[in-house]
Amino acid sequence: MTASSSAHGGCRPIRVAQIVGKMNGGGVEAVVMNYYRHIDRSRVQFDFLVDADSTLVPTEEIESLGGRVFVVPPYQNVLEYQQALKSLFRVQGWEIVHSHINALSVFPLRAAKKVGVPVRIAHSHSTSGKGEYAKNALKAVLRTQANRYPTHRFACSELAGKWLFGEGSDFEVIHNAVDLSRFIFDVETRAEARAALGLAGDQFAIGHVGRFTAQKNHRFLIEVFSEVVKRRSDAVLLLVGTGEAEALAESWAAERKVADKVRFLGQRADVERLYQAFDAFALPSLYEGLGLVGVEAQVAGLPCFLSDAITREVDVTGTSRFLPIDDPRVWADVICGTGQRTNEERASFRASAFADYDIERQGARLTEKYLSLHKEMR
């Protein structure tokens, strides 16, 4: 008897196979883990299927919450990957498979369909943007098959759903929710965080949170910052994250002669405290499915400066500025012209406006969604 069939008898929670690809500390796996911490795990449990070349798999936490981790070959080895998945699907008997790898979900969901998994969810977390020619060509091919294998379609935003599944397609928006209480502005936390970072007085701190990949457009951000410094000599750029392009970003900062003002903070577990220390938040991405860090920054009361390639759905407060990523001087003018918000102004951003991103509410909603899908197939 499988775990899922036991659940039908009321003995155990249903188990959902979460296809997360490579767990390297990126945004999508953080979203899935956030949901896992806040679903009703007495009724629904997650099992994580991760690629063997993942670098940051929170196995200990997953197992402490009652989940399991299954390692599969990297998805680049398509045949080996699908064979491993089919074998796991047969042995484990999952009745719900939820794939989070965007256009690549074609491969695991094809394997799931072949072995008769009844509920197959494709979840779009991203889109595509300029410059990534090879990646975009592959995405274009895979998107033609995006509706072939799923029984249900989720997306983190309307934009991400339409991009993967097509205009007029049937999908449900599942918001990338967070624990809002972690990000609400607090004067004492700001003072402590700035002191820990060695920020003096009213020194102007521009923050960015994201992996060092081409998508996040760090080169442009550093060019923007080099223009900001011409206008505000006290400015500092704080970069949170790691990734394959980090060394390149360091060289770009040196080229622009701002290396002494750009701080590489690495992968951090206290990002909510860092938002408190920032005075502005910049996200000049080439593309985003949503750009959840922009939502987190707004909860912290920060003025947000975002690429105009990012969906306006991220602008919860109606105060974010969307700017074209073709002239760093424009960004510098807008950032410096906006000024720093007072503590009172930052504290006035209330979490009640962010209900769609409240993990307590959305975790309960996703629990019921899985249970409903499980019931439907009976």
Kindly tell me if the per-residue pLDDT of 351 is higher than 90.
no
248: pLDDT strictly greater than 90: yes
Confidence of residue 377 (pLDDT cuts 50, 70, 90): confident
pLDDT, residue 200, reads 87
374 alpha-carbon distance from chain centroid = 26
Model confidence at 138, in pLDDT bands (50, 70, 90)? low
Determine the average pLDDT of the residues in 219-227: 98
* CA atoms of 192 and 202, how far apart (whole Å): 14
Determine contact, residues 72/97, Cβ cutoff 8 Å: no
Best CA proximity match to 189, nearest among 74, 312, 273, 313: 273
CATH number of 180-354: 3.40.50.2000
pTM over 0.85: no
Class of domain 3-177+358-376: alpha beta
DSSP-based three-state secondary structure for 173: strand
pLDDT digits 0-9 by tens, 78-128: 999 999 999 999 999 999 999 999 889 999 999 999 999 999 999 998 776
* C-alpha torsion angle, residues 250, 251, 252, 255 (rounded to 10): 130
Gap between the Cα atoms of 211 and 208, Å rounded: 10
Element (H, E) at 214: none
Rounded to 5 degrees, what are φ and ψ at 215? Answer: -55, -35
Q: What is the pLDDT of residue 131?
A: 55
pLDDT tens per residue across span 158-208: 999 999 999 989 999 999 999 999 999 999 999 999 999 999 888 999 999
Asked if the model's pLDDT at residue 3 lies above 50, the reply is: no
Measured CA distances, 344 to 180, 186, 339, 354 (Å): 19, 10, 14, 19
Residue 1: is its pLDDT beyond 60? no
Give the separation between CA 378 and CA 375, rounded to whole angstroms.
Answer: 5
> Where, residue-wise, is CATH 3.40.50.2000 in the chain?
3-177+358-376, 180-354
Is the confidence at residue 233, as pLDDT, over 70? yes
pLDDT at position 6, please?
Answer: 42
